[in-house]
Amino acid sequence: MKRLDWRRLPPHRVVALAGGLLGLALAAALVLPVLVEPSGAAAGAPWWRDGRGRLAVGLGVLLATFALTLLAVRSLRARAASQDRVAAREREMSLILSGLQELVFRCDADGRLTFVNPAWERLTGRPAAEWIGRPFADAVVADRRKDARRLLLPLPADGKTRSGSLAFRSARGEAVPHECIATPLPDGEGFVGSAVDVTERLQVRGRLQSQLSFTEMLLESSPLPMSVVGRDRRYRIVNRAWEVFSGRRREDAIGGPVGAHLSPLERQEHEARDAAVYATGEPQRYEARVPHADGTMRDVVIEKRALPGRDGGAPAGILAVIIDVTEYRAVERATREARDAAEDASRAKSEFIANISHELRTPLQSIIGFSELGVRRAGEHARLAAMFGDIHASGQRMLALVNDLLDVARIESSAGTLHLERGDLRLPVREVLRELQPLAAQRGVTLAESLPATPMLAKLDPLRFGQVVRNVLANAIRFSPEGGRIDIEADVTDAGQWRLAIGDRGPGIPEGELEAIFEAFVQSSRTKDGSGGTGLGLAISRTIMQAHGGHIAAHNREGGGSVFEIVLPARSGDTIPAPL
């Protein structure tokens, strides 16, 4: 017997079988069951007819449920993303508020704090929770609380931002100035606001105000007329000295045009200077003649400087300073006239000296000649010979003085010239040594020469250079003690110049007179007994050396005495004239 597998039966047979079994059960209990087996199509047709509508409704409900579920999921996801964004923004806003140095707050309609940022804690030293519910004015110093309450007046609720200056009490009890703003919330719910610490701003403003006051004080106290002119060439600022100089009141000048009282030509010059200042930014300094309040024309020096523009841009204007130099120019003119008069007098004096010296030479030559003849013819008449000898010596001294005066006249009149030629300066030195050797021997003075063996080539006028050596060596012989020694040495300086040094063991020269002795008619205080001559020799020597491009100087030597150094550039070339 085969087992019946109901899972493989068609639906109608399953229904029939189920009905049969039910019938058997009922028959066994009531009546005899009758099993009727309809066909598959007949059995399925009612089922399909009744179930088709229900199936369509079920499918519709299923689709609607799926769509609603999908929409719900998307809505939940969007809400979660929105909540995440809001949370992120809240975290970001919280970080921003935490990092702000400014005080941020919110108050209710009664002016009590409902929110403060961490800056409150840093300023007041008290936790933010302690401020919640307290009046906003409690954070302000006592004498400014009225201003704080006025800032939070509930009416009118116009939504306009209000501002005011308040001072908050810090944790150290200091009053810290703040600029505060508050904006009313809609429907009178309260205020939101912030406060910025303006301590540094007030300090900078105070320093700036102090600097401006100091600048204004300097401007007003300056004795120089000053003015500030805009690019429109109208006065912006003038000081008191400008009012005095121009004779115009400040109220009348400010805003007025520049140079309205000047002629078109004068105004054109000043405008050109202004244009140069604007173009280059460099200051302009020039001289002009401008009218004074007293009606006179004054010589002035005007200096103009560009005023820096905003943010380093184009100059905003020009600062002009007027320096009245009328008196200086008058002094210059008087000095120039006095100098010209002095030069004319000096030329007249030099010409007179030259003329009188020439006139004196003729009789002196006769006196010297006849005195020499008298000495020779006096013979055995000793007294007569001595008398003629004195006449001859006096004539020689007078002739030397006349020669010196002639040299001075040549120097001052610039009539003399040097004839420079390439030569060995040892030659004029040795010629002077031979010339003055008898005088040195007469006084018992030794002349110790130490010149190089090779030629000392230089550009020089042998006659004039020999005159310098003669003046210096004659002085050394005159002031050396009897039996003394004079050293004549030559070498090359570090600059490549020839240096001739003549040293004696005389009385020396006071330190304060080492330069003065080279001036005309000046003698050392140690030689004013008449032994120093006219005081012209060294002055003439310095002038000659300067014409050579060299110089002469003196200094004292150790152990007593002095040393005169004659320095001459070593040069070569053709003969050239040079002014003496």
Q: What is the pLDDT of residues 258-286, one digit of tens each?
A: 887 778 888 888 889 999 999 888 999 99
Tell me how far apart the alpha carbons of residues 464 and 267 are, in angstroms, rounded to a whole number. Answer: 60
* Displacement of CA 323 from its chain's centroid (Å): 23
424, containing H or E segment:
strand 417-424
How many angstroms separate the CA atoms of 442 and 293, rounded? 80
Are 301 and 325 within 8 A, CB to CB?
A: yes
Buried b (16+ CB within 10 A) or exposed e, 87-103: eeeeeeeeeeeeeeebb
CA distances from 301 to 234, 283, 289 (A): 21, 13, 9
> Positive or negative CA dihedral for 480, 486, 488, 491?
negative
Token pair for 219: 């401007």
* Nearest CA-CA partner of 191 in 167, 164, 157: 157
Tokens representing residue 363 in the block: 């009789």
Q: Is the peptide bond before 452 cis (omega within 30 degrees of 0)?
A: no
What value does the CA radius of gyration of the chain take, rounded to a whole number of Å? 61
Decide if pLDDT at 95 tops 80: no
* pLDDT score for 431: 93
**Is the pLDDT reported for residue 308 higher than 60?**
yes
Asked whether residue 332 carries a pLDDT value surpassing 80, the answer given is yes
**Considering the chain, what is the average pLDDT of its residues?**
80
pLDDT of res. 479: 87
Take residue 57 and report the two structure tokens written for it.
């409704």
Residue 458's DSSP bridge partners are 423
C-beta separation of 527 from 479 below 8 A: yes
Query: What would the mean pLDDT of 349-367 be, rounded to a whole number?
Result: 68
299 φ, ψ (degrees, to nearest 5) = -80, 125
**How much is the pLDDT for 29?**
47
- Which DSSP string do the residues of 254-287 spell out, in sequence order? TTSBTTTTS-HHHHHHHHHHHHHHHHH---EEEE
Could you tell me what percent of the chain has a pLDDT over 90?
A: 21
pLDDT at 576: 39
Question: Which pLDDT does position 415 carry in this prediction?
Answer: 39
Element (H, E) at 180: strand 175-184
The pair of three-digit structure tokens given for residue 416, joined into one six-digit string? 């003399």
User: What is the model's pLDDT at position 91?
Assistant: 61
pLDDT tens track for 465-520: 998 999 899 889 988 888 899 999 999 988 889 999 999 988 888 888 888 888 87
pLDDT single digits (tens) 511-558 = 888 888 888 766 666 665 545 555 677 888 888 898 888 999 999 988
Query: Helix axis angle, 426-442 relative to 462-479, nearest 10°?
Result: 30
Residue 321 has pLDDT above 90, yes or no: yes
- Say how far apart CA 463 and CA 276 lie, in whole Å: 59
Residues 389 and 378 sit within 8 Å (Cβ to Cβ): no
| Predicted local confidence at residue 414, as pLDDT | 43
Identity of residue 519: E
In this predicted structure, the answer to whether residue 446 has a pLDDT above a threshold of 90 is: yes
How far is C-alpha 284 from the geometric centre of its chain's CA atoms?
18
87: confidence class by pLDDT, cuts 50, 70, 90: low
- Alpha-carbon distance 226 to 322, whole Å? 6
Residue 31: pLDDT band (50, 70, 90) is very low
Residue tagged 């820096």 (tokens): 308
Spatial CA neighbour of 499 closest among 488, 514, 513 = 488
Question: Quick check: 365 pLDDT over 80?
Answer: no
Confidence category of residue 571, pLDDT binned at 50, 70, 90: low
Check if the beta carbon of residue 226 is closer than 8 Å to that of residue 319. yes
Are the beta carbons of 195 and 178 closer than 8 angstroms? yes
Contact in structure between 37 and 14 (CB atoms under 8 Å)? no
**Residue scoring higher pLDDT (283 or 396):** 283
**pLDDT of res. 564:** 94
Residue 137, exposed/middle/buried by CB under 10 A (0-12, 13-18, 19+)?
A: buried
Per residue in 9-22, pLDDT (tens digit) is 555 554 555 555 55
Determine the pLDDT at residue 449. Answer: 92
Q: What is the pLDDT of residue 241?
A: 92
Q: What is the pLDDT of residues 204-258, one digit of tens each?
A: 888 888 888 888 888 888 899 999 999 888 999 999 999 999 888 988 889 888 8
Residue 540 CA to residue 405 CA, distance in Å, equals: 10
Q: Is the pLDDT of residue 356 over 90?
A: no
φ and ψ of 167, to 5 deg: -130, 115
User: What ranges in 38-116 are assigned the alpha helix state H?
Assistant: 40-99
Indicate the pLDDT class of residue 94, thresholds 50, 70 and 90: low
Does residue 115 register a pLDDT over 70? yes
